[in-house]
Amino acid sequence: MSRFSPRSISKPAFLLVPALLLLAASSLSAQAAGTQPAARKYTEARGAALTTVEYRISRDGQSILLSSIGADSTDEIRWTPGSGTTDWRFSDSKTGDDLRAQRSGNVIHVTGTLKNRAVDRQVKVDGAPWYQVFGPLMDELLPADTSQKEFWVLDPADLAAHKMQVRRAGTERVTVRGTTVEAAKIHFSPAGALAAFWGADFWYRQSDGLWVTSRLPEHGSTTVSTVEELTP
């Protein structure tokens, strides 16, 4: 799966590289509260191209471990409730990129290989949470009593940090794989003055917070992600 997707965010389209995603409880997060890891597969459609990505969530003490696995690339994060992403690893077998990052305070330290070059970079951010892999864990990013929040994301293409914002945008009836559900609409955009120039929308089933579908503009087209199995 392309890095330009809900899995691992990149620069907004108006900056030439794309980017990005909640309800009371994510279905994946709830399942992962038990001892067994939770997993769901999503189909990504971009034009005529179709790919499958699997998201896995498990618990490690007080932390949440999330991975997204596509055809060529894998993202893995450690999420600390109330804080955000603290560790991230990204690998792409096609490009050879292999990155590791860890947040300490308002600095994200990134090491590894990018575009066949060794990297060792200190990326400065502020106190907003770091949210690197989109889709699951939305109840962690945007709790039920919160209408809007700013957060940071790193672009895997150049490791630049971008301040984004996520907000609730009402509810809608959406049809997914022949089934119509009531869903909360969540809108993503750059923070500040650039918010009007780019946006992505994600829908979450109201009954349990399951991410059911999303539309992400990138490179002049739109990537549509849809859950493969819409269970009751």
pLDDT digits (tens, 9 = 90+) for 78-131: 999 989 999 999 999 999 999 999 999 999 999 999 999 999 999 999 999 999
Average of per-residue pLDDT values in the chain: 85
3-state secondary structure of 34: coil
pLDDT of residue 37: 58
- Mean pLDDT, to the nearest integer, of 53-58? 95
Contacts of 35 (CB under 8 A, 6+ apart): none
Place of tokens 């609730």: 168
Q: How crowded is the C-beta side of 37, counted as CA atoms within 13 Å?
A: 13
Lowest mean pLDDT among 4-8, 24-28, 52-56, 197-201: 24-28
Cα–Cα distance, 16 to 12 (Å, whole number): 7
Residue 171 belongs to some domain of the structure? yes
Task: Please indicate, yes or no, if residue 5 is contained in any of the structural domains.
Answer: no
Return the DSSP state at 95: T
- CATH number of the domain that 67 lies in? 2.50.20
- 76, part of any domain: yes
H/E stretch holding 141 reads helix 138-141
Q: Calculate what percentage of the chain has a pLDDT beyond 90.
A: 72
Domain that holds residue 68: 13-227
SS3 content of the chain, % helix, strand, coil (to 5): 10, 55, 40
Rounded Cα distance, 94 and 86, in Å: 26
Asked if pLDDT for residue 195 goes beyond 70, the answer is: yes
